[in-house]
Amino acid sequence: MEKAEVASRKGKRAEIEKSVLVIGGGIAGIQASLDLADKGVIVHLVEKEPSLGGRMAQLDKTFPTNDCSICILAPKMADCFGHPNINVMTLSEVVGIEGSKGNFSVQVLKKARFVDENLCTGCGECLEKCPTKGVQNQWEQGLATRRAIYIPYMQAVPRAAIIDPENCRFLKEGKCGVCKKVCKREAVNYEMKDAILEFDVGAVIIATGFDVWDPTSSSEYGYGKNPNVFTAMEYERLINAAGPTHGHIKRRSDGNEPKSMAFIQCVGSRNIQTGHPYCCSVCCMHSTKEAMLATEHIEGVRSTIFYKDMRACAKGFNEYVERAKKDYMVEYINSDATVQGSSSAGNPIVSYDVGGKSQQKEFDMVVLATTLVPSEKNKVLAKTLAVDLDEFGFFKVRDHVFDPIDSTRPGVYLAGYCAGPVDIPESVAMGSAAAAKAMEDLMERKVYA
């Protein structure tokens, strides 16, 4: 039995028999990592963002229970980061892989954070002093700004600052250095360089999630034209207590609370023309959730959901929709809707079809359930890992019925939205399934090698 030596996060060297590479630190990747690590397998978890958490961390609540999303996710993020068997690498991407099932050797590019995450306590003093203000905060969907040195978000793991080299004055022009001066822990290090790390692993799990489709290119929804048209992801940040408006739903045009809201589903999905003919599998439910939450945030707000078909098929989903109708007075209209102009008050005018009659109605705010699309980076990653993508750009599964976790390359497994539309519970189930599959590979070697 060969043994590999692996550098763990804490710099100690641990002797192990086999380990697994997990790509993506969202809920699917976290679940897979924890399952493996709890069974004594060393996990190398690669995350391209500066924090674990992925998309679930951006959501306000989860359906159908309306649990606070980050509240149930954060403990798992912390478990993952603190686990003795998990080596979490943020700001990292896989750039090379060799070998075969049971015996891969991978190269990971770890980008410089310019802050030593072992030293940084996340006190935030540097953030207050950084003179570069007004950088768009992508994590808040551009609804807030940040400095050049920042902590990704309040519950970020690791809770350590990061310097964005594109906006940092010191890294660009060699002037400033304020953050280094104010840091009592001496964690700021402008000299930090990108590094290539190498590991031997027995199996690989891809859990890279999705991108949110940008509806700006689609002229029929008025997004980008009418300031009171939001995407669902923007809305999730608006209603989040830790979000840019501290949980107040505010119109972009005048900052007022909306009294009537429209939720338009299937924006960009189930649409051959946009190249996304699939059902995103979550927008029926998240629109329902968002409409409920609107009522909880604003008294007397009236919400209308425009849907193509109501797809509430998992456990408790249909009851959830019924509850929205009964307890929250959410109105459901079976019609695709578009935004056709705006009123003099800046209200989007929504146009739809009821029984073959065209209707127009003004709403204070419109939320678009934009579809979730395969990440652009999938193409590069698929090439690196030598796995196939399907016709949409998701990772291709070997067999939809009997191998729904296997990629097209033996020893490489898939979990979460990167393999196709799923919701959070399904992503978690896939994470566990992928962990079990990876475990099988490791066991196989143990028994027969």
Partner 1 sequence: MSRIKEIIEETGAFDCVECGKCTSLCPVAKRNKDFAPRLIVVKAQEGMEEEIKSDKDIWSCITCEICNDMCPYEVDFSGFIQRMRGEAKDSGNLPSCSQAGAVHTMERMTGMGQKQKRLAWLTDDLKVKDKGDVFYFTGCVYQLGILYNDRAPELKQVPANVVRILNAAGIEPVVSDKEVCCGHDLLWSGDEESFEKLMEQNIKVIKETGAKTVVFACAEGYRTFDMDYKDFFGDLGFEVKHISEYVLDLVNQGKLQLSAEGSKVTYHDSCRLGRHMGVYEEPRDLIKATGANLVEMSSNKEKAICCGVNAFVSCGEVSKRMQLDRLLEAKETGAEAMLTFCPKCLIHYNCLLSSDKKPPELDGLNLKVRDGSNFVAERLKGGGKSS
* CB of residue 392 to partner 1, shortest distance in Å: 15
Q: Is 219 in the site for partner 1 (CB under 8 A)?
A: yes
Q: What is the full DSSP assignment across 114-168?
A: SB-TTT-----HHHHH-S---EE-GGGTTSSEE-SEE-S-TT-SS---EE-TTT-
The smaller minimum CB distance to partner 1, of residues 51 and 304, is found at 304
In the bound state with partner 1, the residue whose beta carbon lies nearer, of 306 and 317, is: 306
Q: Does 11 bind partner 1 (CB under 8 A)?
A: no
Least gap, CB of 284 to partner 1 (angstroms): 13
Which residue stretch of 150-158, 200-208, 330-338, 429-437 sits at the interface with partner 1 (rule: CB under 8 A)? 330-338
Assign 320 to helix, strand or coil: helix
Our CB check for partner 1 shows the closer of 107 and 274 to be: 274
Stretch that binds partner 1, among 48-56, 150-158, 202-210, 348-356 (CB under 8 A): 348-356
**Stretch binding partner 1 (CB under 8 A), from 8-16, 130-138, 270-278, 318-326:** 270-278
**Which range of residues in 23-31, 41-49, 337-345, 373-381 is near partner 1 by CB under 8 A?**
337-345
Q: Nearest CA to 86 among 199, 210, 208?
A: 199
Query: Shortest Cβ distance from residue 330 to partner 1 (Å)?
Result: 19
Q: List the one residue out of 365, 343, 340 whose CA is nearest residue 252.
A: 365
- Check residue 273 for interaction with partner 1 (CB under 8 A): yes
Beta 13-16 vs 4-7: how paired, if at all?
antiparallel
Would you count residue 164 as binding partner 1 (CB under 8 A)? no
Q: How far is the CB of 304 from partner 1 (least distance, A)?
A: 13
Token duo for residue 330:
């959410």
Q: Is 200 in the site for partner 1 (CB under 8 A)?
A: no
In this structure, are residues 9 and 87 in contact, taking their beta carbons and an 8 Å threshold?
yes
Dist CA 433 CA 405 (whole Å):
7
| Binders in 15-44 for partner 1, by CB under 8 A | none
Span interacting with partner 1, options 88-96, 334-342, 396-404, 408-416, rule CB under 8 A: 334-342
Q: Is 291 exposed, middle or buried (0-12, 13-18, 19+ CB in 10 A)?
A: buried
CB of 286 to partner 1, least distance (A): 19
Write the DSSP symbol of residue 218: -
Residue 340 as a binder of partner 1 (CB under 8 A): the answer is yes
Q: How many residues bind partner 1 (CB under 8 A)?
A: 24
- Establish if 271 lies at the interface with partner 1 (CB under 8 A): yes
Tell how far CA 439 is from the center of its chain: 26
Tell me if 336 contacts partner 1 by CB under 8 A.
yes
CA torsion sign, 199 to 201 to 204 to 207? negative
Burial degree of 260 (CB within 10 A; 0-12, 13-18, 19+): middle
Closest CA to 279 of 248, 311, 304: 311
**Are the beta carbons of 223 and 231 closer than 8 angstroms?**
yes
Residue 65 touching partner 1 (CB under 8 A): no
**Interaction with partner 1 in 293-312: which residues (CB under 8 A)?**
308-309
- State yes or no: residue 362 binds partner 1 (CB under 8 A): no
Task: Choose one: 2-10, 234-242, 353-361, 422-430; the region binding partner 1 (CB under 8 A).
Answer: 353-361
Instruction: Give whole-number Cα distances, 405 to 45, 275, 410, 420, in Å.
Output: 18, 24, 11, 11
Residues 84-143 that bind partner 1 (CB under 8 A): none
Among 213, 352, 413, 417, binds partner 1 (CB under 8 A): 352
| Binding residue (CB under 8 A) for partner 1 from 253, 260, 318, 335 | 335
Q: Is 266 in the site for partner 1 (CB under 8 A)?
A: yes
Residue 118 contacts by C-beta under 8 Å, 6 or more apart in sequence? 10
- Chain Cα centroid distance, residue 299: 30
Classify 89 as helix, strand or coil. Answer: strand
The answer to whether 79 contacts partner 1 (rule: CB under 8 A) is no
- Using CB under 8 A, which of 52, 233, 337, 412 touches partner 1? 337
- Dihedral, 4, 97, 20, 62 alpha carbons, nearest 10: 160
Looking at beta carbons only, is 35 or 336 nearer to partner 1? Answer: 336
Rounded Cα–Cα distance for residues 5 and 191 (Å): 28
**8 lies in the binding site for partner 1 (CB under 8 A):** no
**Which one of residues 51, 303, 338, 432 is an interface residue with partner 1 (CB under 8 A)?**
338
Where on the chain is the footprint of partner 1 (CB under 8 A)? 219-220, 266, 270-274, 308-309, 334-338, 340, 350-353, 356-358, 360
